[in-house]
Amino acid sequence: MAYKVTLIPGDGIGPEVTSAAVRILEATGIKFDWERYDAGAEAFDKYHEYIPKELIESVERTKVALKGPITTPIGGGFSSINVQLRKHFELFCNFRPIRNLPGVTTRYPGVDLIIIRENTEGLYSGIEHEVVPGVVESLKIITEKASTRIARWAFEYAHKFGRKKVHAIHKANIMKLSDGLFIHCSRNIAKEYPDIFYGEHIVDNTCMQLVTNPYQYDMLLLENLYGDIVSDLCAAFVGGLGLVPGANFGSDCAIFEAVHGSAPDIAGKGVANPTAVARSGILMLRHLGEQDAANQVKYAIHAVFQKGKHTTRDMGGKASTNEFADAVVAAMEGEAWREQAASETNPV
Ligand code: NAI
């Protein structure tokens, strides 16, 4: 049997890193039937639509997509394709595991954080207007339904995977109603999980606390914008954006994509790091129930970093995107990963 999966290569470094990730995923022996669609500016040139309806129909059918980054014009132009897809499919949970890779030296060894970002509302509602010339308004939408849903997801994850603490991150001292509702819902859900520590920190203090001592946190539960910003901050703990994977989960379907964007500064050069997308692929394999294949890719990536010979430029190495992928495929030989997988629960 082959899994039907929608493949959205994206733009910028997207096509380079997704094709490397596809090669790594296929090397597990799992069969995929990829339904490939462009989205964004390139799709518009071809189909006169930023998100072709065939792409939407494909995700409705397959329920699973692997996606590269898509460029969003700044200060004008079309609204984010990424945000539109998350809203269209109600992918309310953005899951981002932040974890050091063996062999990657950073200022903070041994970081193991899970970021849970609400993915459908907040300031990403995109409701903006000009009140009078020179005055604009951007509305932050927070609902009880979405806040309760994301808090429940976070606590359920903590419960299922033995995580010890959840901190809700907010600015309810200033946004008393919107962020106030977010933490009110988080508190209510926390009461149902007495074995999991629940804390609340204000977002600016959280940034300082993270940089001072990231080990004090276990899982961070954030509304949309704070989740976006804090994710990039935390990516720096473990070696940068080239490494950190992500998943967008809804109740019906899921789209797997890295935290990073389209990196126009290095696009087309064949030097981008495909690790983040490949690790998003690991999360996809777990979602499909293919735990062995997921562990095979996970520990092959660990082995490549441990040896340190085939890392990409962002990690201080010289390997191209494809050379890194070749090294990961070669590291999949053998069964050593089975023993390693038995002793830990971190997904990536
Ligand atoms: P970015 O994440 O694309 O790049 C930030 C820095 O990290 C750059 O120096 C880049 O070279 C580096 N970097 C990122 N991924 C890398 C990789 N795999 N390997 C090596 N280096 C990597 O963020 P930026 O520049 O703010 O955004 C560029 C575009 O991407 C924007 O249009 C933005 O809207 C879009 N974007 C799209 C996302 C998505 O599709 N999910 C997420 C974030 C941004």
Q: Give the pLDDT confidence score for residue 29 in this predicted structure.
A: 97
Q: Give the pLDDT confidence score for residue 95 in this predicted structure.
A: 98
Q: What is the mean pLDDT of each run of 10 residues along the chain (348 residues)?
A: 97 98 98 96 88 96 98 89 94 98 94 97 92 97 98 98 97 98 98 98 98 98 98 97 98 97 97 98 98 96 96 97 98 89 87
Ligand 1 nearest-atom number relative to CA 80: 34
Q: Is 320 in the pocket of ligand 1 (CB under 6 A)?
A: no
Ligand 1 nearest-atom number relative to CA 73: 32
Ligand 1 nearest-atom number relative to CA 266: 11
Instruction: Walk me through the domains of the chain, giving residue ranges and CATH numbers.
Output: 1-92+241-348 (3.40.718.10), 105-238 (3.40.718.10)
Q: Is 261 in the pocket of ligand 1 (CB under 6 A)?
A: yes
Edge to edge, the sheet with strand 254-256 lists 31-36, 2-8, 64-67, 254-256, 247-249, 93-99, 112-118, 219-222, 165-170, 197-202
pTM over 0.95: yes
Q: Give the pLDDT confidence score for residue 132 in this predicted structure.
A: 97
What amino acid is encoded at 94 in this protein?
Answer: N
Q: Is 277 in the pocket of ligand 1 (CB under 6 A)?
A: no
Task: Specify the DSSP class assigned to residue 39.
Answer: -
For residue 17 the two structure tokens come to: 């890193």
Q: Residue 169: phi, psi to the nearest 5?
A: -110, 130
Q: Give the pLDDT confidence score for residue 45 in this predicted structure.
A: 86
Q: Please tell me the distance from the alpha carbon of residue 319 to that of residue 284, in angstroms, as a whole number.
A: 25
Instruction: Indicate which residue's Cα is closest to atom 26 of ligand 1.
Output: 261
Residue with token string 């595991």: 97
Q: Give the pLDDT confidence score for residue 342 in this predicted structure.
A: 85
Chain-centroid distance of CA 68 in Å reads: 11
DSSP E strands, 213-266: 219-222, 247-249, 254-256
Q: Give the pLDDT confidence score for residue 345 in this predicted structure.
A: 82
Q: Give the pLDDT confidence score for residue 126 in this predicted structure.
A: 84
Q: Give the pLDDT confidence score for residue 123 in this predicted structure.
A: 94
| Distance (Å) from CA 195 to ligand 1 centroid | 38
Task: Specify the DSSP class assigned to residue 125.
Answer: G
Q: Give the pLDDT confidence score for residue 42 in this predicted structure.
A: 82
Q: Any long-range contacts for 56-62 (C-beta under 8 Å, 24+ apart)?
A: 56/88, 58/6, 59/6, 59/85, 59/89, 59/253, 59/255, 60/253, 61/4, 61/35, 62/4, 62/5, 62/6, 62/35, 62/253
Ligand 1 nearest-atom number relative to CA 260: 2
Three-state DSSP class for residue 250:
coil
Best of 82, 238, 241, 273 to mutate for ligand 1, by most ligand atoms within 8 A of CB?
A: 241
Q: Is 266 in the pocket of ligand 1 (CB under 6 A)?
A: yes
